Structure 1
Amino acid sequence: MQLAITDEASRWFHRELSLPDKGAGIRFFGKAYGKTQVHDGFSVGMTRDDHPDQPIMAVEKDGVTYFVDPTDAWFFENLAMTVDYDAHLDEPKYEFKEE
């Protein structure tokens, strides 16, 4: 499992969620309904969570820890996820590749 956050996505999270310069966290999880490149019927959710507890995947960018909890391993297992920014929709976009 791998996780990457682009510079554009980082700026979006800071702007839209009014994140501080350091100490914030964003947790990604699988949710019912939707579709990704590798899931049918499921999509990516995210929430502010400043206290990761033993994440299975994490990366720090611009003072923010982006991570996945062990309970969501089923969604991210054997995948690399890049979080980018969609300027047309003004929201994050999630790109997956199988490892």
Structure 2
Amino acid sequence: MKIFISPNALRWFKEEMEAKSGDTIRFYARYGGSSPLHDGFSIGMTMDTPVIPSVTVKNDDIMFFIEERDAWFFDGHDLYVDVDSKLDELAYSYKKA
């Protein structure tokens, strides 16, 4: 499992969340909504400190990660994070690793 952050998504994190060098952003399984992987669960994200990260990636010295306890949600898929230009919000897609 890997995390891919597009340049547009990185810019979104910097502008909308004011993310800067040294920050850490976690993607996690959230109860509610739906996703292509699980009905009743969706993906959430927040600035957080890693405890037991399952996967990490650094872009422009900002670390993005998924905790081991949330790895089940991704079911062996890589996470792709981009921006929906019409809605100006993050868009997630998943591809089998």
Band the TM-score falls in, shorter-chain normalisation: over 0.9
Equivalents in 1 of 2:38, 2:69: separation in Å?
17
TM-score (norm 2): 0.92
Pairwise CA RMSD of aligned residues? Answer: 1.1
**What is the Cα deviation at residue 77 of structure 1?**
3.2
Equivalents in 2 of 1:97, 1:86: separation in Å?
18
Equivalents in 1 of 2:2, 2:59: separation in Å?
14
**Which residue number in structure 1 is paired with residue 81 of structure 2?**
83
**Which residue number in structure 1 is paired with residue 7 of structure 2?**
7
Equivalents in 1 of 2:55, 2:75: separation in Å?
10
Equivalents in 1 of 2:35, 2:52: separation in Å?
25
Q: Which runs of 5+ in 2 are unaligned?
A: none
Structure 1 stretches of 4+ with a deviation exceeding 3 A read none
Equivalents in 1 of 2:14, 2:30: separation in Å?
23
Equivalents in 2 of 1:98, 1:34: separation in Å?
21
**What is the Cα deviation at residue 53 of structure 1?**
2.3
Aligned length: 97
- Aligned residues: percent identity? 40
**What is the Cα deviation at residue 59 of structure 1?**
0.4
TM-score (norm 1): 0.90
